[in-house]
Amino acid sequence: MLTDTILEDDRWDKAELEPLAEAAARAALTHLGLDPDRFEIAVLGCDDARIAELNADFREKTTATNVLSWPSEERGAEADGDTPNLPETAPAGAREGPPEELGDIAIAFETCAREAKDADKPLADHVTHLIVHATLHLLGYDHIRDKDATLMEGLETEILGKMGLPDPYMEK
């Protein structure tokens, strides 16, 4: 398994976070030409209180957010709009040893449920988008600079489209 999911909030079990996270992370890596079986991502399904603590500890923001990610290493591109420094690909079976850790993701139930309801979309679709988004962050993609944001959003739209999900950036 690519994702190792820990559920601190039981509502994530009913929302099927574990299979959603696995499918979304696999789709993101596969789209980028990376073998998902070579990597590992830890996913924490938590509530707003827990993610607010994490947000305060790591980003000095005292509010809850939908998703946070912590890459195992810095892979970001130097120039705005360039592709990040993705992990090297190896032929199938060429890599020995444990999977390479890409990093950690935390996702908050209440914020995700509220955002999905406000956008009139299924929770599963919104969660899938957020896990794709966070996985891209683990790979060095970002959305702070304009061209980086355009690149990242385009990838998210392509990945979700291949999964049969609508463009999350289109207005209804």
In CATH terms, is domain 3-81+98-162 a member of 3.40.390.30? yes
pLDDT of residue 170: 85
- How wide is the angle at C-alpha 164 spanned by C-alphas 162 and 169, nearest 5°? 85
Read off the pTM. Answer: 0.94
Alpha helix stretches (DSSP H) within 41-122: 48-59, 109-118
How far, in Å, CA of 116 to CA of 106, rounded? 17
pLDDT of residue 88: 81
pLDDT of residue 79: 94
* Nearest residue to 105 via CA among 130, 140, 122, 126: 130
| Regions of the chain with pLDDT less than 70 | 89-96, 171-172
On whether 129 is known to bind a ligand per the annotation, the reply is no
How far, in Å, CA of 25 to CA of 28, rounded? 5
Residues near 166 by beta carbon (within 8 Å), at least 6 away in sequence = 121, 125, 160
pLDDT of residue 98: 86
On whether 126 is known to bind a ligand per the annotation, the reply is no
pLDDT of residue 92: 57
